[in-house]
């Protein structure tokens, strides 16, 4: 079985202008984030990115660990 797709894009005769705008800065935070992720590499990368953006990150490898952390650390998260 074979499928054929046709995609029609509008024609633009004018040349595209280069955008000189700088991208908007990423939002920064100061809150505490409970990061729950079972894949170590994903958790480490996400935690690093959040810390670079100013967040305090508490990491858990699974839901059970996250619940234990939430029960024991609620007073120190703010």
pLDDT at residue number 78 = 57
Q: Please state, in angstroms and as integers, the Cα–Cα distance from residue 9 to each residue in 38, 42, 78, following that order.
A: 42, 37, 51
pLDDT at residue number 47 = 97
Tell the burial category of 57 from Cβ atoms under 10 Å away from its Cβ (0-12, 13-18, 19+).
Answer: middle
pLDDT at residue number 25 = 87
**Cα gap 56→48, rounded to integer Å:** 10
User: Which positions of the chain have pLDDT values less than 70?
Assistant: 74-78
Share of the chain above pLDDT 70, in %: 94
DSSP-based helix, strand, coil % in the chain, nearest 5:
35, 15, 55
* Residue-range domain boundaries for the chain: 32-76
pLDDT at residue number 73 = 73
Q: Considering the entire predicted model, what is its pTM?
A: 0.64
């Amino acid at each position: 079985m074979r499928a054929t797709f046709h995609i029609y894009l509008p024609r633009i005769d004018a040349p595209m202008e280069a955008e000189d705008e700088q991208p908007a800065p990423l939002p920064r935070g100061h809150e505490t984030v409970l990061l729950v992720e079972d894949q170590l590499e994903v958790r480490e990368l996400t935690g690093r990115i959040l810390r670079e953006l100013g967040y305090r990150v508490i990491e858990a490898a699974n839901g059970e660990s996250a619940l234990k952390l939430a029960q024991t650390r609620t007073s120190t998260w703010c």
